[in-house]
Each structure stands twice: as C-alpha cells, then as structure tokens.
Amino acid sequence: MRYVAAYLLASLGGNTNPSAKNIKEILGSVGIEADDERLNKVISELNGKDTDEVLNAGMSKLASVPAGGAVVASTAGGPAAGPTAGPAPAEEKKEEKKEESEESDEDMGFGLFD
C-alpha cells in the first residue's frame, strides 16, 4: 500500500509517470526502505494509466462490497436463549477492552487530552 500511496503522491505532484527513483525518494523521506520487487510491480501495473481512471474503477468495485451494519436474526433452527444469556458476555468483553486501552495509555506516558 505504501508504494501505491507514494506513486499517487508523485502523480498528484504533477509527475504523470513516476519512476522507481521518484517513489524511493518519497518513501525515503519518511524513513521507509523500498523493496525493488514490490516497487517494480506497482510501477508496471500503473505505468501509462491515468490515476483518476484507476481510482474511479476501484471505487466502482468497492461500491458493490457490503459495508456492514445489517444484522440477520434467525428465529428457527437454534435453541432458544434466555433474555439475559446473550448480552452479559458482550458487556464483560467491553469492560476488558476498556481496561486494556487504559493500560496502553499509561505505557505511553501521556494522554491524548492532557
């Protein structure tokens, strides 16, 4: 993904055909060492293509991907659960996650809103 992002940055900067050297310079500016094999793969796939057309084609493909949010409730086929059987484990998991996130903040030595 970093190679594609660097390629897009170069093309947004006005370079219609970024070279491996251009992408290595962009990646090197943030301390990333480029892998020549992956870099050449990205360049060969995108070379000579209009980045706007590539992005629009990708967005049309993503439009068909479900984005979640829908819940399917099944009323037949499974054993009936009591009214308190389902939510209790979920609440315990949330509390555990909350404790872990507080611990990770302490490890950093500062808080986001301090």
Q: Say how far apart CA 45 and CA 51 lie, in whole Å.
A: 11
Encoded amino acid at 100, one letter: E
- Provide the pLDDT for residue 27: 92
Distance of CA 8 to the CA centre of its chain: 16
Q: To which residue do tokens 């068909």 refer?
A: 64
Own/partner pairs, 10-13, CB within 8 angstroms, 24+ separation? 11/51, 12/51
- Provide the pLDDT for residue 23: 92
- Provide the pLDDT for residue 85: 52
Q: Say how far apart CA 90 and CA 48 lie, in whole Å.
A: 51
Cβ atoms of residues 23 and 43 within 8 Å:
yes
pLDDT in 10s for each residue of the chain, 114 residues = 899 999 889 988 888 888 999 999 999 999 999 899 999 999 999 888 888 898 898 888 888 888 776 666 656 555 555 555 555 555 555 566 555 555 555 555 666 665
SS3 64: coil
This prediction's pTM: 0.53
Which positions ≥6 away from 33 have C-beta within 8 Å?
Answer: 27
Among candidate residues 52, 47, 4, 48, the one with its CA nearest the CA of residue 27: 4
- Provide the pLDDT for residue 95: 60
